[in-house]
Amino acid sequence: MSDAPRPVYLNGEWCDTATARVSAFDRGYLFGDGVYEVIPAFGGRLFGLAEHMARLSRSLAAIGITEPLAASQWQGVFDRLLDGHDGQDVAIYLQVTRGASERRDHAWPVPAVEPGVMATVSPIGGPGRDARVITAPDQRWARCDIKSINLLPNTMARQQAFEQGCDEAVLVRDGLVTEGAATNLFAVLDGRLVTAPTGPQILPGITRGLLLDVVRHQTLVEVEESFVSLGALSRADEVFLTSSTKDLWPVVEIDGRSVGRGEHAGKAGPITRRLDRAFQAFKQSQRSSA
């Protein structure tokens, strides 16, 4: 995909990234009052669409925003955004805000205004280096399960990682690892695959959920959904992150120390590689059956 302007669906109209404009009074701009999704399309075919749209509906319901489009309308938007991207790996970003009211007020507008809706598409970068991460305090709000556009603590943690020459920040609350700033975290401990349980303290990642389905269906490794302590993380045999645009992302260094021991120290471990192969096969099967 070139640097030319990309199409944008904005509040029922089509424009592009060079001409798209939102109201200065949109509550997403003023308060971060909205939610979003990032839906990957591999080879031009959407992946995990049903799961992403179900999570969008949960996020909208949790903050009291009415569904702005029917499923068929969303599909029409996605089809137009993907037009011309056959064979390419791209991601659709969609955002829904509470809309633009006549005045700035913390309280929700009464009567309600039309939600603000935006969707666009951008390329997914190729695989980069294995991840080097730092640990940082989890300073986010108490409803991390809502995919809110209000991401200031996440961006601050990720910037702290970048300033230390690392790729991601792993967030820690009360001595327990929750997730990454923009990823879910898995650790291999004594042969078990451990990841934080779903609930208000983490975002239920779509790749996280699909991977767990694959692992359990194929009985690839014993799974435990529980929080990992910071001490246990430092002793983990393997660690990897997941996200919709990076799939399984091996972690090879945490706070300057190599992950793992022996011949696997500082490398993607054997369980990580096995799970990645299984997940890639699952992705391919979904593309073939679409």
Q: Residue 244: which pLDDT band, with cuts at 50, 70 and 90?
A: very high
Contact in structure between 193 and 135 (CB atoms under 8 Å) = no
Is 2 a member of any domain?
no
State whether 158 and 282 are in the same domain. Answer: yes
pLDDT, tens digit (0-9, with 9 covering 90-100), for 191-212 = 999 999 999 999 999 999 999 9
Looking at this protein, which amino acid is placed at residue 179?
E
Catalytic residue among 147, 246, 267, 283: 147
State whether 256 and 219 are in the same domain. Answer: yes
Expressed as residue numbers, the domain containing 195 is: 131-289
CA distance 122 to 40: 10
The beta strands (E) that lie in 142-287 are given as 168-173, 176-180, 184-189, 192-195, 222-225, 228-229, 238-243, 247-254, 257-258
pTM of the model: 0.95
- β-strands 168-173, 131-137 pairing: parallel
Is 28 a member of any domain?
yes
**Which residue, of 123, 142, 164, is where some domain finishes?**
123
Contact in structure between 213 and 204 (CB atoms under 8 Å) = no
**147 given a catalytic annotation:** yes
pLDDT of residue 286: 81
Structure-derived torsion over alpha carbons of residues 77, 81, 87, 91, reported in degrees to the nearest 10: -90
State whether 283 and 162 are in the same domain. Answer: yes
CA distance 279 to 48: 13
State whether 106 and 195 are in the same domain. Answer: no
DSSP state of 204: -
Contact in structure between 182 and 243 (CB atoms under 8 Å) = yes
Q: Is residue 125 predicted with pLDDT exceeding 70? A: yes
State whether 161 and 270 are in the same domain. Answer: yes
pLDDT, tens digit (0-9, with 9 covering 90-100), for 68-114 = 999 999 999 999 999 988 778 999 999 999 999 999 999 999 999 99
**Which residue, of 123, 152, 171, is where some domain finishes?**
123
Q: Residue 44: which pLDDT band, with cuts at 50, 70 and 90?
A: confident
Is 60 a member of any domain?
yes
**Which residue, of 87, 104, 123, is where some domain finishes?**
123
Q: Quote the number of domains for the chain.
A: 2
- In CATH, what number is assigned to the domain containing residue 49? 3.30.470.10
Is 78 a member of any domain?
yes
Structure-token pair, residue 251: 């972690």
